[in-house]
Each structure stands twice: as C-alpha cells, then as structure tokens.
Amino acid sequence: MIKIAIYGKGGIGKSTIASNISAVLAVRGYKVMQIGCDPKADSTSLLHGGERIPTVLDMTRQKGKLLRLEDVVFEGENGVKCVEAGGPVPGIGCAGRGIINALETLEKLGAYEVYKPHVVIYDVLGDVVCGGFSMPMRKGYADKVFVVTSGEKMSRYAAANICMAVENFKGRGYASLGGIILNRRGVRGENEGTAELADDFNTSVIGALDRCEEIPFAEQKGKPVTVVCPESRAASQFRSLTESVLFRFKDKE
C-alpha cells in the first residue's frame, strides 16, 4: 500500500491537487482512498459531485459505539473512497486532536483491511504542523510527504516549515519528504524561488501546475478537471504529476 500525505497552507490548492491525483490513479485501476485532514472538511467534495460528506467526528458524535465504516466512507468519482476527518465545534476543542481521533477511529473500524486500497492520500492543512496536523508524517500513516507551494512569500514560508518538520522526524521511521509541488500563481521569480526551497531541503520540484480556466470550470461542476476536461493542458499536467508521485514509490508498486 502506497501512503501519501499532501501538505500545504490553506488556499494553496492542495485539495484540488489531491482530488485530481486520486481521480487519475483510479482511472489507471488503482483502488484509492482519500482522507481529508482539514477542519474545513472540503477535501473530497470534488470527488463527490461538489457535495460535502459527513465527517468522522460528526458521525462519531451522533452514533458513538454504533458507528460503522459505511457511515464515514463514501464512494466518489471513479470509485475513489472518500473520508473527511472533520473538526471540532467552532470555539470548542482542538482541531489537531480531532484529526488524531478520526484517524484512530478509521484504524479501529478496520478501514484499510476492509477496502484494501492500493493508495491512501491524506490531504493535510499545513499552516500549522503540530499535534494532529503532523500525525500523518509522524505516526506511520504516510510514507512520503509532498508539499504544495506557490511563489508567494507566505506559501513558501509555510512550505519550509512543513519540510523542516519532516526533517525533524527523520531517522525515526516516519514519513520522508517526497518533493515539492509548485502551483503557479504568476508571481515573479516563483520557479527559481521554489527550486531554491527544494534545494534547501535536498529534494526536488516534482511537478508544476499552471493557472487556467479549465480548473475553476470543472470545480463549478463539482468534479476534478481530469474528469471534466481530460484533454486540457491542466489534465495533462496532473497526469504528469501523478507519474512523478508514483515514481517516488517505484520499489513499492
């Protein structure tokens, strides 16, 4: 089983990237599970017709010990299994702790044994890398972390913090850094700045995505651009990115 964590600051496009990678992998015959680890709980909406699915935390509150996998795992685009960890009631509780509880609940319910995914993708908020938000990289849930950034200062700052967190866990058997994904925003010098960031952490930029009209067009329809506009340049870039991600796991395929 290939286990991937995609990190990035809020609004950087990591959920769009995760959903398109999931869709591409599913078309290629992989059994995929995408797990949203952002309190906004919108990671999997593009795989579910634009609709949000019930979260693990919400369903746990409702059903308690009667909770079943069918209550929290939903089939999405191309058969991708969709899960949202969810977050606490606003103003109450810790979002990081919520992620820990949600992932532990999936394990207790035997999600990985029941669905037997070839690939698991964790979509994780990267503005903070403490507590539950760092759980996929430090608890053995993911094998590799891929960090999404643009050329904007705060995005690269957040990306550097995530890379630093991965480095700090090195040698403990935790997730390693798989590479940087550049989501271009048209900022001056963003290619060079992102390459410099990758060099700082002895990794590489494994893929770059350009801004285009097809992505928001597809998202208005509640679907990944690789499904709505499969012949577009954006879809081609997502397919190339998926190949680059898989290459980092060549020995596990």
The active-site residue out of 14, 81, 144, 223 is: 14
pLDDT score of 40:
84
pLDDT score of 89:
64
pLDDT digit string, tens, across residues 215-237: 999 999 999 999 999 999 999 99
Fold entry, domain 2-252: Rossmann fold (3.40.50)
Known catalytic residue: 14? yes
The active-site residue out of 3, 9, 144, 223 is: 9
Contact present, 169 and 135 (Cβ < 8 Å): no
The active-site residue out of 42, 58, 71, 127 is: 127
Q: Which of 27-31, 138-142, 221-225 has the lowest mean pLDDT?
A: 138-142
Known catalytic residue: 200? no
Contact present, 129 and 122 (Cβ < 8 Å): no
pLDDT score of 32:
98
Mean pLDDT across 20-34: 97
Known catalytic residue: 127? yes
The answer, yes or no, to whether residue 113 has pLDDT greater than 60, is yes
The answer, yes or no, to whether residue 74 has pLDDT greater than 80, is yes
Indicate the pLDDT class of residue 252, thresholds 50, 70 and 90: low
What would you measure as the largest C-alpha separation in the chain, in angstroms?
54
Name the amino acid, one letter, at 66: L
CA-wise closest residue to 193 among 245, 164, 155, 244: 155
Mean pLDDT across 121-134: 82
92 versus 16: the higher-pLDDT residue is: 16
Residue 246 token pair: 């898989």
Percent of the chain past pLDDT 90, that is, above it, reads 77
User: Apex CA 73: angle with CA 98 and CA 143, to 5°?
Assistant: 65
Q: What is the pTM of this model?
A: 0.94
The distance of Cα 202 from the centroid of its chain, to the nearest Å, equals 22
Residue 189 token pair: 């010098």
CA-wise closest residue to 44 among 17, 8, 62: 17
Known catalytic residue: 3? no
137 versus 113: the higher-pLDDT residue is: 113
pLDDT digit string, tens, across residues 196-216: 999 999 999 999 999 999 999
